[in-house]
Amino acid sequence: MATFYYKSDRLDILDDLLEDFRESVDVSEQSILELESDPGNVPLLRQLFRSVHTTKGNLAIVGLSPMVDVVQALEDVLDQVRQQEIPFTALVGDLTLLLLDEVKGFIQNCYQSQQAEWDAPLIEKLTGLITRLPGAKPDERDSLLKQATRLLDPTVIIDEPEKPVDDSWMTILQDDDLSFLFELAKLSEHRARFWNGRTERLIRLMLEYNRCATPGIADEELVAAILAHDIAMAFTPLAIINKEGRLNPLETERIRHHINVATGLLEHLHRFEEGKTILEQHHEFVNGEGYPNGLTDGEISSGAKMLAIVHAFESISHGQTAFTQTRRPMARAILELSSNTGTQFSERWMAPFQQVLQQSWLGE
């Protein structure tokens, strides 16, 4: 690691830069989140480019030279993105967010202690990869983006199923009904390759989450809801599962029908009453804008709020369609969950979930 020393008599300038940088990052994050669902939005593409361009200029002005070249390389890429010579993709967004996070840490260290350690070989290699993007062919471009993203976040795994950390959670399958549902859910994973390992990931995460929750929910009710949900989703037409982009109103209605299918499965078992309620309400938003009944925070069951958060994390971190099958950086998952807390997700139930991520998944 190299050490960069910053002149202490320029801290007032650095203080202003840090404030401007935070504003630029906020703009960039919001632009990227919106571009995920509307990648051809030219005003948003221009806004993203301008925020990174401003960051690069400020870094140069205050003399934070180690970060200038790599941000310049990213700016060149985003220039082609805004001109639609390179398509905006999830990987472009991930790389931008991760690099901005790296820059933020560098600036904060310079401000707090007038010096910052930085991995010069890594930044040099990263700069080289990003510099090659503008002239790369589509397949090579994707490979370069994946390599650059992995450099910044080694937890990112692309097109590889994740192995379970342990199997202690499997004791819950001693319940005959849950064991039966689990076998059906595992079969359902074959419906789409990018669902591989989903069932076990969801159960393991949910049980860890439930241990941090106060008061917790009966494990078997949560697991039954997860299993019935995934079995029901397998009955979604493949054309919808594999569709890139937004669903039309008819497709949206069809995919929403999974709630009825899932609750019907548990109905036939004549148990898991709380599990059925969880399934009926897991697409409700705390601000009342969800479906099917437009319930608000106080009307939604705790289990449904938990399942909504766990499903969203799975969707962001591993993808739920063929278009988003890449495991995403953990920073992206946390960002998207946080940005929707208080509207879609419950603040009360987000706190213990973040505790799980920090303790069990991030290793902190």
Tens of pLDDT, residue by residue over 121-146, are 999 999 999 999 998 998 899 899 98
Question: Using 50, 70 and 90 to split pLDDT, how confident is the model at 10?
Answer: low
Q: What percent of the chain has pLDDT over 70?
A: 89
In this prediction, residue 124 carries a pLDDT of 94
Instruction: List Cα–Cα distances, 48 to 30, 39, 282, 332, in angstroms.
Output: 9, 12, 33, 16
Contact 128, 147 (CB under 8 A): no
Q: How many C-beta atoms lie closer than 10 Å to residue 260's C-beta?
A: 14
Residues near 200 by Cβ (< 8 Å), separated by ≥ 6?
164, 169
**pTM, full prediction:** 0.62
Q: What pLDDT, in 10s, does the model give residues 176-234?
A: 999 999 999 999 988 876 687 889 989 999 999 999 888 889 999 999 999 999 999 99
Mean pLDDT over the full length of the chain: 86
Give me the residues paired with residue 116 across strands. Answer: 4
Give all domains of the chain, ordered by start, each with its CATH number. Answer: 2-152 (1.20.120.160), 168-361 (1.10.3210.10)
